[in-house]
Amino acid sequence: MTNPRKLAVSALLKIEKDNAYSNITLAAFLKEAEFSPQDKALFSALVYGVLDRKITLDYVLSKYMKTPLKKTAPFTLAVLRTALFQIMFMDKIPESAAVNEAVKIIKKSKESRNAGFVNAVLRGVLREGFSLPEGDTAGNLSIKYSCPLWICESFCRDYGIDTAKKILEESLKTPPLSIRVNNIKTDAESLKQEFLNAKIDFEKGGNDNCLVIKGGMDISQNDLYKKGLFYAQDEASQRAVGVLSPKKGERVLDMCAAPGGKSFTMAGLMQNEGEIIACDLYEKRAGLIAEGAKRLGLSIIKTAVADATVFDKSLGEFDGILCDVPCSGLGVLRRKPDIKYKPECDFRELEEIQYSILCNARKYLKKGGRILYSTCTLRQEENENLVIRFQKEYNTFRKVYEHTFMPHIDGTDGFYCALLESKE
């Protein structure tokens, strides 16, 4: 059997070295490993846990290490982080076991010379304990909630310190698995009965046709999923599509559609009558949307490879346009902890790309049509401020709805949407 702690260290090294996506890396490692269900759970918990808490872990480790973290051998540092995570955040694992297993892993590695160092650092933590800085400053929140300083400063600036703390608290919690009932093939009551028959634990979500699966599961391997009876989609995303309110017989454009959930929900609301053009910049991602639509039996969805910043006259005019733009993703940190460790400079050009897409959307709109602008971030520069800028430049649009979904209030991912209607 594979050692889950050792494999977690290897996965963490690959994610950091290759700047790889954690979910893809995790899936690849799990596919190759021979795990019991308990070891599979431990492996997953360690990988996501260390990613979630890396800033906090490094803060504590630095108190017990003379060698700077940046100069510590990568494998050794990953072992230390993994062991410390178990000590600080996994109550069911004995502290001595976390230390002993870490030392064993090091001794059997190319960095075996560091076994005494690893043992000394971890024993020091057990002997002297650990503490985190107190006081509500952005710097202290960064350490306590393991989130880069620039993100904490952004939340504090936009929402105030109290709300920032609540957002950061939620970012460390396990997200719910929300699904959308495919009303073209079934209905909510029928799917509930199917779930009960299959002994799948669930509860009703906050939206019609939304269910929340409790305890989690790999839905891609579920027979009901394969039959196209449901698909995964967070409640905020479902509600936002409802704000656009696409109607039967309309033409709708989804400008940045992959992976396709919003297009699928629009097709359901339209009772699979009308036309949806679902675009993506990359052919492979557009292909995934087409595969999903086929599985769900949604015949009105047609995919296109298109650059959302460039006008394509051949697409024609539309009654409604979904403008779900690429964003910094700070509303989904609990699902994608990797996002936290991208440098701030990676996001500097986002606002101009977002604005370019929104401005381009208006060119496709019929007179009196509507645009839904949305993101899965909580930065006002990408949300409210950008919409205000758009309205100043194009005063023929009025904002008829605006909402920022907050994880601690709405029980959803962090999400923003604004509905803009053309006055013309």
Residue with tokens 């960064």: 142
DSSP state for residue 337 in the 8-state scheme? G
**What confidence score (pLDDT) does residue 31 get?**
83
**What confidence score (pLDDT) does residue 424 get?**
67
The proportion of the chain whose per-residue pLDDT surpasses 90, expressed as a percent, equals 87
Annotated catalytic residue within 152, 256, 376, 417: 376
Sheet of 251-254, strand order:
301-305, 275-280, 251-254, 318-324, 365-375, 415-422, 397-405
Pairing of strands 318-324, 251-254: parallel
CA distances from 50 to 8, 44, 187, 213 (A): 9, 10, 40, 25
CA angle 372, 292, 265 (to 5 degrees): 35
User: How buried is residue 15: exposed, middle or buried, by Cβ count under 10 Å (0-12/13-18/19+)?
Assistant: buried
Structure tokens at 406: 């907050």
Residue 150 C-beta-side C-alpha neighbours within 13 Å: 13
SS3 assignment, position 88: helix
**What confidence score (pLDDT) does residue 199 get?**
93
Sheet of 210-213, strand order:
202-204, 210-213, 177-181, 230-232
Q: CA 162, CA 156: separation in Å to the nearest integer?
A: 8
**What confidence score (pLDDT) does residue 359 get?**
98
Does the bond joining 133 to the residue before it have cis omega, within 30 degrees of 0? Answer: no
Q: CA 220, CA 226: separation in Å to the nearest integer?
A: 7
Q: How many CB atoms lie within 10 A of CB 56?
A: 22
Q: How many CB atoms lie within 10 A of CB 322?
A: 28
Alpha carbon 294 to chain centroid, angstroms: 25
Tens of pLDDT along the chain (424 residues)?
679 999 999 999 999 888 888 888 988 888 888 888 888 889 999 999 999 999 999 999 999 998 899 999 999 999 999 999 999 999 999 999 999 999 999 999 999 999 999 999 999 999 999 999 988 899 999 999 999 999 999 999 999 999 999 999 999 999 999 999 999 999 999 999 999 999 999 999 998 899 999 987 888 889 999 999 999 999 999 999 999 999 999 999 999 999 999 999 999 999 999 999 999 999 999 999 999 999 999 999 999 999 999 999 999 999 999 999 999 999 999 999 989 988 899 898 999 999 999 999 999 999 999 999 999 999 999 999 999 999 999 999 999 999 999 999 999 999 999 999 998 6
Q: CA 81, CA 141: separation in Å to the nearest integer?
A: 20
Domains in the chain, start-ordered, CATH in brackets? 4-128 (1.10.940.10), 138-171 (no CATH), 173-232 (3.30.70.1170), 238-422 (3.40.50.150)
User: Can 256 be counted among the known catalytic residues?
Assistant: no
| CB distance 378 to 414 below 8 Å | yes
**What confidence score (pLDDT) does residue 1 get?**
63
CA distances from 272 to 73, 265, 345 (A): 56, 10, 42
